[in-house]
Amino acid sequence: MARKKKETPEVNNTEEVKANIIGAGEVVCQPITETLETNFMPYAMSVIVSRAIPEIDGFKPSHRKLLYTMYKMGLINGGRIKSANIVGRTMQLNPHGDAAIYETMVRLSRGNETLLHPYVDSKGNFGKSYSKNMVYAASRYTEAKLESICAELFNDIDKDTVDFVDNYDSTMKEPTLLPVSFPSVLLNTNSGIAVGMASNICSFNLKELCDTTIGIIKNPDFDVFETLKAPDFIGGSQMIYDRNALEEVYRTGRGSLKFRAKYTYDKSNNCIDVTEIPPTTTCEAIIEKIIEKVKAGSLKEISDIRDETDKKGLKITIDLKRGVDAEKLMKRLYKMTPLEDSFSANFNILVAGVPRVMGVKEILTEWIAFRTECVNRRVFYELTKAKDKLHLLLGLKKILLDIDKAIKIIRNTEEEAEVVPNLMIGFGIDQIQAEYVAEIKLRHLNKQYILKRLEDVDQLKKDIEDMEDILASKSRVKKIIVEELTKVSEKYGKDRRTEIIYDEIEEAEEVEEVPDYPVHLFFTRDGYFKKITPLSLRMGGEQKLKEGDEIVTTVETTNRAELLFFTDKCQVYKSKASEFDDSKASVLGDFVPSKLGFDADEKPFCMIVTNEYTGFMMFFFENGKAAKVNMQGYDTKTNRKKLIKAYSDKSPLVAAFYEKEDVEYVLNSTAGRVLLVNTGAISIKTTKDTAGVNVMTLKKYHKLQSVRYYVEGEFSKPYRYRTKTLPAAGATLSADDTAEQLSLLD
């Protein structure tokens, strides 16, 4: 049996509420344009105007609320207090959660090293902007107060210099802007992402900024380049000076500027110490990129990299392999890693609630207008106060004429409410003056006190006249702003941190810097290769070889040598000694066909070692021909690893030699004939696969068997085997030479 559901008052109330809300619970078809206009646009405007984009005073609302709260807490002159206390108080103005408020404080702090001129004097671990791993401590552990420069943010804030509005629950008042006495909008880095727009402002040196602003005040056509050299960041680094790029940023507010890290080379430890990095990157990003390049084989000069950042400051140490040129390596690192990075400027600022992308001069002009209004409002406030005070003192002056009469009027007045009217009638003063006189204490109703107060009248009149003149004179207001800027510059100005590189920087080529040191190269008949250093060779034992294999080529050279492996398929594979790891005599070595990716069934024929691709190659073929090919034919600018048609395929190859100058060879045929040939008698060719010229005349069924270097004195009558013209058949060995050859064999 189904149980009857009991109706509860809550359900009835819910239904009643729904009935009272028009359209509640209904699905309504709405055009997307209307949805954007009614829902998305207000959200977008709120983010732009009230969150992400800084205003002309240089602050976002979150910054302003935090700093104003700290100011009201008396943290400009007092000692530091717990950050958690500040965060809690700030929530009265900024109801976005303690985490967001504390992150804002961290970024504004000295300890975090984000701002060129920090606003928060911090104590404790506030993390570091240049390291993602150095995380700030919780707010309950850290302490903070305002930096001394914040006095310039709040000077005269209580003199009606800026407008105040209610906070979110109308329980407090907060300023819409801060009456900053210097152009803080360009003093510190400030970035934000809104909806459909963003802002990214770089920091400038305070001295240069104040001088530039003063220059614009004095001359609207002032050239900002005269005083504002370039952006300046707390992290230092180096800026590559590009006049065109800087002009673009200064003129439009948008553009890209290049910054690179600063380093020192430690010769004793053979390492590079990076101590300053671009403002757009972090230590971790740099290290990860370098490790990635090392693993990919693009940076073989680096043996180790580590982050040695400590309390002394940032430090990335890069250990180098032996023989590496640190300067050349850094040029490659600048191009391949974030050690050189670009700052994309976007000077998007709210002016009167409207986002505007402006150049430096336009921003400073807007700030001057803003500051002019602040000064005028301050002077007007002080003028009003002075006039009110003068008005009261003039009333007091009339009382001075007859103090006894004033006392008599007060004593003879029966009702308290009639005291002020009676004083007004008795002395001919207005209500405000009468109220002031009536409030004077009995102990002050003496001639000395009143005369002392009246001494201020003349000075007040002069001050009022002076202030009225200021309000009527634009030049005097400008003079006041200039004086304030000069004082700020002298008091808080610092030397530049970011170094400007004016010299033209050459683009580093993608050329791998190879460590240069002596090596011994060994190549076997079966295609095994070893690269052994002299020290390792002296300490090693016998060469380990595959059974039946033997070393056919031994060369003493350096690690930067170029290697050419000619194969039996008329191809050559190019490599470098540096691409092979250092080996030992006790190992087989690298199998070249696998290392260089030979074709199937392709075998190495010989290894040629060169450094400059000078000289020529000599190829000898079974048909008795020889080809003399210019070595430059194998030098490729595109770093190709494989060249086809490396030599002629018309006849099988017998021998190949690399020569820098002409030499003499001994040619032996299967017919038992010997011929001495000097390479000077053979013309050089530029085509690699040239068939060559006839050198040794061969009878049918005979072929060239071997070619070797001629050793002076090995033949008793060497002229017997030489010839004036080529080709030649050569001669059989004489009895003396045969005996000598046999003795050598024995």
Q: What is the per-residue DSSP string for 496-532?
A: --SEEE-SPPPPPPS-------EEEEEEETTSEEEEE
Interatomic CA distance for residues 304 and 291, integer angstroms: 9
CATH fold for domain 207-362: Gyrase A; domain 2 (3.30.1360)
Compute how many other C-beta atoms are within 10 angstroms of the C-beta atom of residue 577: 20
CATH fold for domain 364-492: Topoisomerase; domain 3 (1.10.268)
719 carries an active-site annotation: no
Q: What are phi and psi of 628, to 5 degrees?
A: -110, 105
Residue recorded with tokens 């690298």: 590
Residue 254 and residue 346 in contact, taking contact as beta carbons nearer than 8 Å: yes
Residue with the bigger pLDDT between 23 and 649: it is: 649
Residue with the bigger pLDDT between 603 and 406: it is: 603
Interval 121-130: pLDDT, tens: 999 999 999 9
Kindly give the residue spans of alpha helices, DSSP state H, lying in 665-730.
none
- pLDDT at 6 exceeding the cut of 70: no
Those residues whose C-beta lies under 8 Å from the C-beta of residue 715, and which sit 6 or more positions away, are 676, 721, 737, 740
Interval 195-251: pLDDT, tens: 889 999 999 999 999 999 999 999 999 999 999 999 999 999 999 999 999 999 999
Decide: helix, strand or coil at residue 421. Answer: helix
Q: Where are the domains of the chain?
A: 56-180, 207-362, 364-492, 518-745
Of 616, 611, 514, whose CA–CA distance to 563 is shortest?
611
pLDDT at position 401, please? 72
Those residues whose C-beta lies under 8 Å from the C-beta of residue 577, and which sit 6 or more positions away, are 519, 521, 531, 557, 558, 559, 560, 561, 562, 563, 609
Residue with the bigger pLDDT between 427 and 177: it is: 177
pLDDT at position 257, please? 95
pLDDT at position 323, please? 86
Given the residues 141, 168, 502, 709, the one annotated as active site:
141
Those residues whose C-beta lies under 8 Å from the C-beta of residue 130, and which sit 6 or more positions away, are 113, 235, 277, 281, 282, 283, 314
Decide: helix, strand or coil at residue 47. Answer: helix
CATH fold for domain 56-180: Topoisomerase II; domain 5 (3.90.199)
Interatomic CA distance for residues 290 and 286, integer angstroms: 6
For the chain, give the percent of residues with pLDDT over 90: 65
Compute the average pLDDT of residues 178-193.
Answer: 94
- pLDDT at 744 exceeding the cut of 50: no
- Between strands 499-501 and 238-240, the pairing is parallel
pLDDT at position 502, please? 84
* Cis peptide leading into residue 727 (ω within 30°): yes
* Band of residue 119 on the pLDDT scale cut at 50, 70, 90: very high
- pLDDT at 529 exceeding the cut of 60: yes
Interval 349-367: pLDDT, tens: 999 999 999 999 999 999 9
Copy the structure tokens of residue 353: 């609630």
Interatomic CA distance for residues 546 and 611, integer angstroms: 29
DSSP conformational letter for 430: -
DSSP conformational letter for 48: I
Residue recorded with tokens 């001994």: 666
DSSP conformational letter for 734: P
Copy the structure tokens of residue 268: 């004793």
* Band of residue 21 on the pLDDT scale cut at 50, 70, 90: low
Question: Are domains 207-362 and 364-492 of this chain identical in fold?
Answer: no
Query: Whole-number mean pLDDT of the chain?
Result: 89
List the beta bridge partners of residue 357: 348
- Between strands 590-591 and 528-532, the pairing is antiparallel
DSSP conformational letter for 181: S
Kindly give the residue spans of alpha helices, DSSP state H, lying in 575-622.
592-596
Interatomic CA distance for residues 124 and 288, integer angstroms: 28
pTM, entire model:
0.69
CATH fold for domain 518-745: Neuraminidase (2.120.10)
Q: What is the per-residue DSSP string for 111-151?
A: TTT--SS-SEEEES---BTTBSSSPPPPTTT-EEEE-GGGH
Compute how many other C-beta atoms are within 10 angstroms of the C-beta atom of residue 309: 18
Compute the average pLDDT of residues 373-386.
Answer: 96
Compute how many other C-beta atoms are within 10 angstroms of the C-beta atom of residue 239: 24
Compute how many other C-beta atoms are within 10 angstroms of the C-beta atom of residue 377: 17
pLDDT at position 237, please? 94
For the CA atoms of 473, 475, 478, 480, what is the dihedral angle to 10 degrees? -70
Compute the average pLDDT of residues 596-600.
Answer: 90
Residue with the bigger pLDDT between 362 and 456: it is: 362
User: Of 278-292, 356-370, 445-459, 547-561, which gets the smallest average pLDDT?
Assistant: 445-459
- pLDDT at 3 exceeding the cut of 50: no
Q: What is the distance of C-alpha 475 from the center of its chain?
A: 43
Q: What are phi and psi of 81, to 5 degrees?
A: -130, 170
pLDDT at position 24, please? 66
DSSP conformational letter for 293: H
- pLDDT at 417 exceeding the cut of 90: no
- Residue 692's H or E segment, with its range, is none
Interval 258-317: pLDDT, tens: 999 999 999 999 999 999 999 999 999 999 999 999 988 888 889 999 999 988 899 999
pLDDT at position 636, please? 80
Compute the average pLDDT of residues 98-103.
Answer: 94
Residue 541 and residue 586 in contact, taking contact as beta carbons nearer than 8 Å: yes
User: Of 398-402, 504-508, 636-640, which gets the smallest average pLDDT?
Assistant: 504-508
Of 96, 136, 95, whose CA–CA distance to 113 is shortest?
136
Residue with the bigger pLDDT between 152 and 30: it is: 152
Copy the structure tokens of residue 421: 């009217």
pLDDT at position 15, please? 54
Interatomic CA distance for residues 220 and 213, integer angstroms: 10
pLDDT at position 7, please? 45
Interval 649-700: pLDDT, tens: 999 999 999 999 999 999 999 999 999 999 999 999 989 999 999 999 998 8
Residue 106 and residue 158 in contact, taking contact as beta carbons nearer than 8 Å: no
Those residues whose C-beta lies under 8 Å from the C-beta of residue 107, and which sit 6 or more positions away, are 114, 115, 129
pLDDT at position 99, please? 94
* Band of residue 23 on the pLDDT scale cut at 50, 70, 90: low
